[in-house]
Amino acid sequence: MYCMHWTTDRIRQSFLDFFAARGHTIVPSASLIPKGDPTLLFTNAGMVQFKDYFLGIRTPSSPRVADCQKCLRISGKHNDLEAVGRDSYHHTFFEMLGNWSFGDYYKAEAIEWHWELVTRVWEIPKERLWATVYKDDDEAEQAWLKLKVLPKERVLRFGEKDNFWEMGETGPCGPCSEIHIDRGTEAAVYCTHSGHPCGVNVDGCARFIELGNLVFIQYNRDAIGRLAPLPMKHVDTGTGLERVASVMQSFEAGKLLGNYDIDLFQRIIADIEKIARQGGAPSYGYSAISDISYRAIADHARAISFLIADGLRPGNTEREYVLRRLIRRAAVHGRRLGIHNPFLSLICAGGKVDGLGDGQFTGVVGVMGSVYRELREHDQDILLAVREEENRFRDTVERGLELLNTEREHIAAAKDMRKLPGEIAFKLYDTYGFPLDLTQDVLRDDGIEVDVGEFNRLMDEQRERGRAARRDETAPEIIAGTGTSSRFLHDSYEAESEIVAAHTENDRATIITAETPFYPEGGGQVGDRGVIEAATGGLLEITDARKHDGAIIHVGRILRGVAGEFEPGRRVRLRIDRERRDAAMLNHSATHILHYALREILGKDVHQAGSLVAPERLRFDFAHRGPVPEVALETVEDEINGRIRENAPVTTEEMPYDKAIEAGALAFFGDKYGDRVRVVRMGDFSIELCGGTHVARTGDIGLFKLEGESGVAAGVRRIEAFTGEGALETIRRREQILRQIGSHLGTRDSETLERLERLLARERELERKLRAIEHKFASDGNPTGPRETMQEVHGIKLVTRKLDGVDASGLRAIADQLR
């Protein structure tokens, strides 16, 4: 492993700091699971969360934005899965550094700033750099030449294939400019096409690689291919963090490094080595075949950890199945390294296991959790989900590999056949849980293909046979797909309605009614709980309420009666847990006032980046550079409680989205809004788009008490707080702790701090004296005496001496005397 000045974490932060200093709002990464975009399986680029701004559907709250986006490319045209592990640069999961201008700055500033970042901040030698522009983009070329940083022969023009970006066949598009780096002649050995001349944008060239792409969105392409200028011009940039780290760390190491050689990956690979070497596998870097598996496991562990942290679990439908495939691919690569017991949960979540190396595993959570807080918050979810899936697959993977190896030997013996029958591939999938691509991956090194046509035919037959059974697979998905919808009764705690869709299995039930007082989870607010009572006496306890395609789905279990009492067409009475709802309302309204206060005191660039509104507490994430000073937090708390005492009215109104924005309502990055929106006003100081439940007047909140402020990710802070009875209980708890400390110290509350400070000062003084005594004790007996017993071992001078009762500090003191 390399001890680098330019660690991956430092590179990421330097990018965000650079653009924050140039007026950009730093926003958190969007989830890997796209919200409100059915066209995407996963977030595969930095621009995904901003697509509506380019399309003109939404107006951004800031014209300049920068972030580090989590990306996953494992489906559609962006699918790098089969290449992962086989080279040093393909990934499924990666981080994309990006900065955006929504109708603000344009080509000249974007080009100048990226050159400054790359050469002055990251200190990449400019003599190694090249630039490219679109063949007709005179403006971009002039921007480069005006800087006088590159000779004209190193600013190259290319056509649409390399330097023109399109969102799709129609829609926003524009030319792009790229920065490329010449990695030197030693990199040419990694070119995929031997003998070709190396150069910028030459397919397969490993010597010249792209460092960053600056897209200038200035046109709209219509259905017949015509380009029309957009009323506003935008900038969309993307820079792969792993690639930049490999370039910068190569300069520091004095040798060529691949993406998997950077500090971040080496820490993950070190965990894999601890387990693999127990089974006799070579260390990373000593075997080309083993290295493939090391890289694949390291890559997949990152993707798996982030997907689970973003709420996904292994399963058999679309996204869930992708996660399952990744876990099983990693497990098979573990077998190829001689690891036969479940191990992947350690590589993902970390932990301690005796008997494996030093027993301590950092895991993806430990490596990346300081930047992506969701990893630490969901570390147990990651551990348990991966462990469960590994155990589920464990019983079949060995038998599946045994079958595959047997068939591989048969094919090798039959000189005229180099193809695995589709029937065998299907059996591996259907019986042993091997995805097709995993079977192909295992056979690829032997040059054996799979009869994919036969495999697909057998898969189609199985789908036809299992169609009816699959209709019962997931109740919420089934009833949500019936086209039903629900009307939410905002101001009701109880209502009578008709069941329009239902699914029951044993004592579990999932129900949609025409109307409901149950608030479905959304906007940070948790879903309501309560009961649904059948006219015939049956009772259903509702433990969750969710929204899907316009339907509010009630999920729960039957406490009394039978499933038939909750069939479609039946009339039922719905009653929510009023106390729980009221507590959540206090916290939701307080969240709005908190947002207002932060913007009022810290600046208008503060904006919401996420929230949790639960009955017992609230959590609010917001974009802000650096910790909030304690005095500012006190001012925020005072401002909130002042607005509560003001007892301002809280009103709601539905109106067109555009009208709401014109009225000053705040809309947030990542949220999806319809044509009509609900606007919540509090007095004359707060106006936000919100579908949640709120108090009638701010005075209903009673009291607001901050619990703490911390960092969540780069440029994102988090505040946790309590309201009402929860706030009062927090204050009482703190007072009780203070009284208990005073009781132990024998002081009154007003004297406790002074007494503690004296005790701590006394403790430091005693520790200093103790160290002095230990050093003296260690030095007694002529510290230079051991020189007489000095030995020389392989050119190294060695002095041995047994000392009792000496700590590390004392040993260092002795060593200093012996020099």
Quick one: which of 757, 739, 758 has its CA closest to 749? 739
Give me the pLDDT at residue 376, please. Answer: 94
C-alpha–C-alpha distance, residues 332 and 394, integer Å: 10
| Of 397-406, 520-529, 546-555, the least confident | 397-406
Enumerate the domain spans of the chain: 8-261, 263-470, 475-573, 581-736, 778-818
Query: Hey, which residues does 700 pair with through a beta bridge?
Result: none
Looking at per-residue confidence, does 534 or 609 come out higher?
A: 534
Q: Report which residue type is found at 778.
A: A
Find the mean pLDDT for residues 721-737. 89
Please determine, for residue 802, whether its predicted confidence score (pLDDT) is greater than 80: no
* Banded pLDDT at 504 (limits 50, 70, 90): confident
SS3 label, residue 68: strand
If you average pLDDT over each of 239-248, 456-465, 795-804, which comes out highest? 239-248
Find the mean pLDDT for residues 715-739. 88
Residue 84: phi and psi, rounded to 5, are -65, 130
Statement: 8-261 belongs to CATH 2.60.120.590:
no
Angle at alpha carbon of residue 636, lines to 630 and 642, rounded to 5°: 140
Tell me how far CA of residue 83 lies from CA of 7, 88, 224, in angstroms: 26, 10, 36
Looking at per-residue confidence, does 584 or 353 come out higher?
A: 584
pLDDT in tens, 590-601: 999 999 999 999
CA dihedral sign of residues 430, 431, 433, 437: negative
Give me the pLDDT at residue 460, please. Answer: 80
pLDDT in tens, 325-334: 899 999 989 9
Decide: 108 and 133 in contact? Cβ < 8 Å. no
Tell me how far CA of residue 672 lies from CA of 50, 52, 53, 450, 632, in angstroms: 11, 9, 12, 43, 32
pLDDT in tens, 620-676: 998 887 789 999 999 999 999 999 999 999 999 999 988 888 888 887 644 567 778
In angstroms, how far is CA 449 from the centroid of its own chain?
36
CA dihedral sign of residues 87, 88, 93, 95: negative
Find the mean pLDDT for residues 197-202. 90
Give me the pLDDT at residue 809, please. Answer: 63
Find the mean pLDDT for residues 388-417. 80
Please determine, for residue 319, whether its predicted confidence score (pLDDT) is greater than 90: no
Give me the pLDDT at residue 393, please. Answer: 83
Average pLDDT, the chain: 86
| Burial tier of 278 (Cβ tally within 10 Å: 0-12, 13-18, 19+) | middle
pLDDT in tens, 238-269: 999 999 999 999 999 999 999 999 999 999 99
Task: Please report which helix (H) or strand (E) contains residue 53, including its range.
Answer: helix 51-54
Virtual CA dihedral for 733, 736, 740, 746, nearest 10 degrees? 140
C-alpha–C-alpha distance, residues 370 and 406, integer Å: 46
- pTM of the predicted model, to two decimals? 0.58
Please determine, for residue 785, whether its predicted confidence score (pLDDT) is greater than 60: no
Quickly count: other Cβ atoms within 10 Å of residue 681's Cβ.
20
What is the DSSP secondary structure assignment for residue 525, as one 8-state letter? B
Beta strands in 222-323 (DSSP E): 227-240
Instruction: Give 475-573's CATH code, choosing from 2.40.30.130, 3.40.50.360, 3.40.50.300, 3.40.50.720.
Output: 2.40.30.130
Instruction: List helix spans (H) across 603-654.
Output: 630-646
Give me the pLDDT at residue 63, please. Answer: 94
* Banded pLDDT at 789 (limits 50, 70, 90): low
Instruction: Give 581-736's CATH code, choosing from 1.10.150.20, 3.40.228.10, 3.30.980.10, 3.30.70.1520.
Output: 3.30.980.10
| Burial tier of 59 (Cβ tally within 10 Å: 0-12, 13-18, 19+) | middle
Give me the pLDDT at residue 318, please. Answer: 79
C-alpha–C-alpha distance, residues 16 and 8, integer Å: 13
Residue 201: phi and psi, rounded to 5, are 65, 25
SS3 label, residue 805: coil
Give me the pLDDT at residue 650, please. Answer: 95
Please determine, for residue 736, whether its predicted confidence score (pLDDT) is greater than 80: yes
pLDDT in tens, 682-705: 999 999 999 899 999 999 999 999
DSSP secondary structure letters along 695-749: -SBGGGG--EEEEEEEEEETTEEEEEEEEHHHHHHHHHHHHHHHHHHHHHHT--G
Give me the pLDDT at residue 668, please. Answer: 66
Length of the chain: 819
Quick one: which of 24, 186, 2, 198 has its CA closest to 97? 24
Find the mean pLDDT for residues 42-62. 84
* Banded pLDDT at 476 (limits 50, 70, 90): low
* Banded pLDDT at 780 (limits 50, 70, 90): low
Task: Please report which helix (H) or strand (E) contains residue 336, including its range.
Answer: helix 318-336
Decide: 722 and 705 in contact? Cβ < 8 Å. yes
Quick one: which of 217, 302, 239, 303 has its CA closest to 267? 302
Angle at alpha carbon of residue 359, lines to 357 and 362, rounded to 5°: 105
What is the DSSP secondary structure assignment for residue 522, as one 8-state letter? B
C-alpha–C-alpha distance, residues 348 and 351, integer Å: 9
Tell me how far CA of residue 659 lies from CA of 58, 191, 655, 693, in angstroms: 12, 56, 7, 22
